[in-house]
Structure 1
């Protein structure tokens, strides 16, 4: 399956001598389980170390080994790190997909291929480079069973030669990749050097793409969103994690285990945390709720199928009012769907997860920096509002490599919300668990173990009054549900506010969220440069919506809501919030391929709807 469309260029790249520097998309097509991950990471990091902004995206099958996988590196001098629709340089290592991958390229692209594939016979408008990988790797790696893995590093050296990547940076990246395995590092370096030397001696540079040194990555890091989230949760004070493995969320907890073992062991050598792999998602969320009720900062991480299974327990947490955090690393559904493709398809269902009238707080990071910082926001909001908070990441953000500034050490204090201790109860004489004392819809709670006779209360999932007593009275139920709604309305003033970027006298507005942000920011530049269209942009960071969202819609003639699902889910939530007369202003740009959203697709669809 090819992962790019044929998009004609104004000139056929290598058919002229115009140099294109630090602006390209490199795609490596291999077989899953062939050991290409290390090679691709080395290639990405080598470019990054030359000061060029990069991002890396891995599209892999949902089996363990044997099916096609594509890894795409985008290098861009302007800092665009969203997926680029066009592929400029193809490394074709998989016989199964080589023909289709090659036929999908735009004229002028370059193709580096394994000699037996003979891809040069397919087209005459591409630049082909043939490499006998088996002959090159044999003298470097005498052990035959290792050659399949080491062969991948040969293409790193060849690409370095053809794109003028400094081999000193390749060596540095290899040493980092195999930091604890000197023998493996030396072997892979020899393979990369052999590829580089072969290219220098045998391949004439005919393509137009070059990597040259810049200074736009100094002080930056490369990290995936799940690792950033794991760090954020640890710094946020999480002490209980209960989970069940599911792609693409598993690496969040797996990474958190490593961090907690290193940084959260007490002076007595004992762990100050509990991370439990449950028998299923139902058990995982049940333990989160139990730990949250007991006073721990607790969380789980899952994906769409897990969210579906957690629905009934989510309703319990909403009605009993217990804090907890759920990371949803969204993937393509429904059902099993495409487990290794990205999506924003859980937005609508999560907002109202469970039966009956429920409204859930959602935080929506767009970057690895926000995966880190929103972890603290999520735990603080969960305890402030005594409810589950869902952090809506996605596979693209969670599992792919992103360039980022180093994370700031959290300075926001841990906020436990309205918790009564013994001294409070001595002063008050007692309390009503579900009474709205302050008019914000949030009652006061106690924690188990509080040494006071008035501290206990029943945490009921059935009908109850403000004193937590069982009740089927209509007025008690209505009052309780209205108070819960009042609490949700209060949350509008406390969730992260949207970010707004203004154009010049723009009449068109764009609303986006999550990883759609990276395609939107680039698309806005395309719209301005190619069509003279100015736009304002609002990036949602949370639900419920804040007043800025309403004002933004009111200020524009047309508002395009860009999202990665079929049914315009966020748009549907927004329609529930807005005045009816504003509905005609809203338009949807929906992307459902499972590939990360690219700028060109947004630009093409928006200009088409604007009649351009």
Structure 2
């Protein structure tokens, strides 16, 4: 029996590929399997090849598999583009209507199934995706009832007849495959553990994290792959008195977000590279006025419009150095959907504690790939609103005097007030200012204010990186973002071969954890930095922030995430 399985469905956009993958993945997740699902799609609404690759396992997985076990083809392009991924003995299931020819030179099992015809018999041709799921169930040795509760949840609002029709389509696909020799004992899955887990993508986890953190306003302009954060909160915020505002552009989005935070409401915005570029001047305003603000940057292929629906990690320079002038910024980099939830809460707490912009940087694979997530622990959530002015401080302001909103303090963080608080009147301006906010060009004040703003965060933040593996490794791999899964798998394989390896995964990019990372670098014979960009941004940041050593790079920037074998092969070359 199989411990894991890699399954893919492909066809034209608008043909129900996403729904097919979602139903298959969600049902298996409900049955106690760990699931990881990655969508490959074009930047158009309809047409063009798309596919959804699902990895099902009895163990946690956070990356695509190297090979493919089953390919469901709704068109010939799916076979042309994806059949090479099939392992020896793999399976293709294709609709009979286009009479595809199996690829030559591959040891695969090919089944032509009348997906459309069987769907029509069940009630509608649109249910061919359900027929394909039934055919898959036969191969895996799963009963049709595996999908029953999910189908009921999805379609019962449309009536029991719709539920019955979809279940009938699944059963027809299963029965047809059984009749034609498709019940393959070597493809049967080991049972799942039966535990209930969430199944969510990083963007949904960010939205839920913002909700749990007490955020109630999100101004944003739609942009791939960040729009799902906005779409998630559009459904959730109204239930708690919150609001999502679709703005006319990213400049309006960031300035409205700053305004909401200034007014005392926790607010966020979400964007990708092109939108982040437009936000830079306003991010500088937040830094100058010491206004908390949380920005989600979901990286995609650039530059310019680039490849909006493809994966990349090339915004690290931008988030750190994109603003003109110099301000303090905190940049967090979650690695899993679970971390997206908890670190979004951290982002709001840090923004208000240090009164500075906080950018949560993800990548397309983390933002849009769905994965099994253990139940979230809401008891872990703590809200820190930072240094708010006390009644005593406000009462001490003399009549006719302004409040020292930018007061020089020992920790460089000034007491904060909200509009309307008695005694809290002060100036707010994007130019340099004195403690009450009045503009100034005094050289001494300028230097002092710059030092104040730049030195709020002292030392490293907690849990800035995680380290796993050998204490004194032959090879240390350093990574960031969604690459955690592929690196861990590659290193597990090397460990099984007797290699001494370790993994340092960064979760905070600013303030950079130089001291902690240096400690691990010093113990390693060789260091490999793995990232998805063309110029080695993470490696250069390590050197820029003072990590000393000789570093090797592995770079990939073709729009696709790594698979474990790519990391494994490169690591082997370094031994």
Give TM class, smaller chain.
over 0.9
How many Å separate the matches in 1 of 2:483 and 2:95? 35
Deviation at 1:386, TM superposition (A): 0.8
Q: Does 1:528 align with 2:495?
A: yes
Picking from 455, 462, 465, the partner of 1:486 is 455
1:253/1:50 CA distance change after superposition, 3 Å: same
Partners of 2:273 and 2:315 within 8 A in 1: yes
1:327-342 matched pairs, under 5 angstroms? 327-342=296-311
1:430-441 matched pairs, under 5 angstroms? 432-438=404-410, 440-441=411-412
Partners of 2:269 and 2:294 within 8 A in 1: yes
Picking from 473, 481, 488, the partner of 1:514 is 481
Q: Does 1:24 align with 2:1?
A: no
Residue aligning to 1:73: 54
How many Å separate the matches in 2 of 1:283 and 1:185? 44
1:393-408 matched pairs, under 5 angstroms? 393-408=362-377
Partners of 2:7 and 2:68 within 8 A in 1: yes
CA displacement, residues 247-296 of structure 1 (integer Å, 9 cap, x when unaligned): 1111112111211223x1xxxxxxx3232111110000000111111221
Picking from 406, 417, 420, the partner of 1:449 is 420
Deviation at 1:321, TM superposition (A): 1.1
How many Å separate the matches in 2 of 1:134 and 1:207? 26
Q: Does 1:273 align with 2:250?
A: no
Residue aligning to 1:257: 234
1:552-563 matched pairs, under 5 angstroms? 552-563=520-531
1:557-576 matched pairs, under 5 angstroms? 557-576=525-544
How many Å separate the matches in 2 of 1:554 and 1:318? 35
Deviation at 1:195, TM superposition (A): 0.5
SS in structure 2 opposite 1:381?
helix
How many Å separate the matches in 1 of 2:106 and 2:568? 30
How many Å separate the matches in 2 of 1:416 and 1:71? 41
1:307/1:178 CA distance change after superposition, 3 Å: same
Residue aligning to 1:16: none
Picking from 211, 217, 220, the partner of 1:243 is 220
Q: Does 1:592 align with 2:557?
A: yes
Picking from 60, 81, 89, the partner of 1:108 is 89
Deviation at 1:150, TM superposition (A): 0.8
1:354-373 matched pairs, under 5 angstroms? 354-373=323-342
Deviation at 1:98, TM superposition (A): 2.4
Residue aligning to 1:134: 116
SS in structure 2 opposite 1:161?
helix
CA displacement, residues 1-46 of structure 1 (integer Å, 9 cap, x when unaligned): xxxxxxxxxxxxxxxxxxx513221111111111232222221133
How many Å separate the matches in 1 of 2:564 and 2:468? 17
1:5-404 matched pairs, under 5 angstroms? 21-115=2-96, 116-120=98-102, 122-123=104-105, 125-141=107-123, 146-147=124-125, 149-181=126-158, 182-205=160-183, 208-215=186-193, 218-262=195-239, 264=240, 272-404=241-373
- Alpha-carbon RMSD across the aligned residues, in angstroms, is 2.1
Unaligned 5+ runs, structure 2: none
Partners of 1:315 and 1:353 within 8 A in 2: no
Residue aligning to 1:267: none
1:105/1:233 CA distance change after superposition, 3 Å: same
CA displacement, residues 121-175 of structure 1 (integer Å, 9 cap, x when unaligned): 644522211112233223222xxxx41x211111111111012123221223322
Partners of 2:403 and 2:426 within 8 A in 1: no
Picking from 491, 497, 501, the partner of 2:464 is 497
Deviation at 1:587, TM superposition (A): 2.2
CA displacement, residues 423-475 of structure 1 (integer Å, 9 cap, x when unaligned): 2222465753333312x2222232211112xx222222112234423222333
Partners of 1:164 and 1:212 within 8 A in 2: no
Partners of 1:507 and 1:556 within 8 A in 2: yes
1:523/1:589 CA distance change after superposition, 3 Å: same
Deviation at 1:391, TM superposition (A): 0.8
Partners of 2:58 and 2:190 within 8 A in 1: no
How many Å separate the matches in 2 of 1:594 and 1:114? 29
Deviation at 1:519, TM superposition (A): 0.8
Partners of 1:560 and 1:589 within 8 A in 2: yes
How many Å separate the matches in 1 of 2:379 and 2:184? 50
Partners of 2:76 and 2:100 within 8 A in 1: no
Residue aligning to 1:15: none
1:113/1:123 CA distance change after superposition, 3 Å: farther
Deviation at 1:504, TM superposition (A): 5.5
How many Å separate the matches in 1 of 2:523 and 2:539? 17
Count of residue pairs the alignment pairs up: 568
Unaligned 5+ runs, structure 1: 1-19, 265-271
SS in structure 2 opposite 1:153?
helix
TM-score normalised by the chain length of structure 2: 0.93
Deviation at 1:507, TM superposition (A): 3.4
CA displacement, residues 556-597 of structure 1 (integer Å, 9 cap, x when unaligned): 232222222222222222211115xx232x222222232232
Partners of 1:249 and 1:329 within 8 A in 2: yes
1:408/1:219 CA distance change after superposition, 3 Å: same
1:447/1:51 CA distance change after superposition, 3 Å: closer
Residue aligning to 2:507: 541
TM-score normalised by the chain length of structure 1: 0.88
SS in structure 2 opposite 1:506?
coil
Deviation at 1:372, TM superposition (A): 1.3
SS in structure 2 opposite 1:88?
strand
Structure 1 stretch 323-332 or stretch 564-573: which is displaced more? 564-573
SS in structure 2 opposite 1:356?
coil
